[in-house]
Amino acid sequence: MSKQIFNGINVLDFGWAIAGPLTLKYLADYGATVICIESFQRPDLLRTATPYKDEIPGVDRAGYFAYFAANKYSISLDLNKPDSLEIVKKLIAWADVVADSHRPGVLERWKLAYNDAVKIKPDIIMIRNSNQGLTGPAATHPGLGNHINGLTGIVNFVGWPEQEPISLMVAYSDYLVPHFAAAALIGALDYRRKTGKGQLIDISQFEVGLQLLAPALINYSVNGVEEKLKGNSCDYAAPHGAFRCKGDDRWCTISVFSNLEWQAFCNAIGKPEWLNDFRFTNLSSRKQNEAKLNDLIEQWTMQHEPEEVIKLLQKAGVAAGVVQNAEDLYDDIQLRERDCFWVADHKELGKFTHLGQPSRLSKTPATFFRAAPCLGEHTEYICRELLGMSQEEYDEYLVKGVFE
Partner 1 sequence: MEIGKGLLSSRRVLDLTDEKGFLCGKILADLGADVIKIEKPGGDITRKLGPFFHEASDPEKSPYWSAYNLNKRGITLNIETKRGQQILTKLAQTADFVLESFAPGYLDDLGIGYMKLSQINPRLIMTSITSFGQTGPYSNYKASDIEVMAMGGLMYITGNPDQPPLRISLPQAFLLASAHGAAASMVAHFHRETVSEGQHVDVSAQACVVWEIANAIPLWELNRNILRRAGSFIAGRWTGTKQRLLWKCKNGYVLFYILGGAFGVKTNRAIVRWMEEEKIAPEFLKNFNWNAFDMATQTQEMQEQIEGHISRLFMMFTKEELYNEALKRGIMLCPVNTCEDIIKNTQLKDRDFWVEIIHPELSTSIKHPGAFAKLSETPLNISRRAPLVGEHNLEIYRDELGLSDAELNDLICGGVI
Interface mask (CB under 8 A) for partner 1, residues 223-262, using x and -? x-xxx-xxxxxxxxx--xxxxx----x-xxx-x-x-----
Interface mask (CB under 8 A) for partner 1, residues 165-184, using x and -? xxxxxxxx--xx-xxxxxxx
Cβ nearer to partner 1, comparing 67 with 369: 67
Q: How many CA atoms lie within 13 A of 80 on its CB side?
A: 5
153 binds partner 1 (CB under 8 A): yes
Cβ nearer to partner 1, comparing 53 with 370: 53
Of 81-89, 91-99, 197-205, 272-280: span binding partner 1 (CB under 8 A): 197-205
48 binds partner 1 (CB under 8 A): yes
Rounded Cα gap, residues 178 and 393, in angstroms: 37
Q: How far is the CB of 90 from partner 1 (least distance, A)?
A: 25
Which residues in 355-374 contact partner 1 (CB under 8 A)? 355, 357-364
Cβ partners under 8 Å of residue 198, min gap 6: 118, 121, 122, 123, 124, 125, 126, 188, 192
Which residues in 327-356 contact partner 1 (CB under 8 A)? 327-330, 332-335, 337-338, 340-341, 349, 352-353, 355
64 binds partner 1 (CB under 8 A): yes
CA proximity to 112, closest of 131, 86, 138 = 86
Rounded Cα gap, residues 80 and 71, in angstroms: 27
Cβ partners under 8 Å of residue 7, min gap 6: 31, 32
319-322/251-255 β-pairing:
antiparallel
End-to-end C-alpha distance for the chain, whole angstroms = 34
Cβ nearer to partner 1, comparing 86 with 302: 302
Rounded Cα gap, residues 289 and 291, in angstroms: 6
Q: Are 40 and 84 in contact (CB under 8 A)?
A: no
Of 155-163, 271-279, 285-293, 395-403: span binding partner 1 (CB under 8 A): 155-163
Out of 37, 66, 107, 297, point to the residue binding partner 1 (CB under 8 A).
Answer: 66
Cβ nearer to partner 1, comparing 316 with 387: 316
Tell me the torsion sign for CA atoms 267, 269, 271, 277. Answer: negative
Cβ nearer to partner 1, comparing 182 with 387: 182
84 binds partner 1 (CB under 8 A): no
Q: How far is the CB of 398 from partner 1 (least distance, A)?
A: 24
**Secondary structure letter of residue 390 according to DSSP:** -
Give Cα 218 distance to the centre of its chain.
26
Rounded Cα gap, residues 59 and 214, in angstroms: 39
Compute how many residues bind partner 1; rule: CB under 8 A. 160
Q: How far is the CB of 346 from partner 1 (least distance, A)?
A: 11
Q: Are 44 and 18 in contact (CB under 8 A)?
A: no
Cβ nearer to partner 1, comparing 325 with 390: 325
273 binds partner 1 (CB under 8 A): no
Rounded Cα gap, residues 177 and 6, in angstroms: 21
Of 53-61, 88-96, 105-113, 376-384: span binding partner 1 (CB under 8 A): 53-61
Of 211-219, 285-293, 373-381, 386-394: span binding partner 1 (CB under 8 A): 211-219
User: Is 277 one of the catalytic residues?
Assistant: no
Out of 1, 2, 162, 214, point to the residue binding partner 1 (CB under 8 A).
Answer: 214
Cβ partners under 8 Å of residue 289, min gap 6: 279, 280
Which residues in 300-319 contact partner 1 (CB under 8 A)? 310, 314, 317-319
Out of 195, 258, 390, 391, point to the residue binding partner 1 (CB under 8 A).
Answer: 195
Cβ nearer to partner 1, comparing 150 with 388: 150
Select which of 60, 96, 100, 174 is catalytic. Answer: 174
Classified as helix, coil or strand, 42 is coil
Cβ nearer to partner 1, comparing 258 with 390: 258
Rounded Cα gap, residues 63 and 326, in angstroms: 14
Strands (E), 14-150: 33-38, 73-76, 97-100, 125-130
Q: Residue 207: enclosing H or E segment and its boundaries?
A: helix 205-211
276 binds partner 1 (CB under 8 A): no
121 binds partner 1 (CB under 8 A): no
Q: Which residues are catalytic?
A: 174
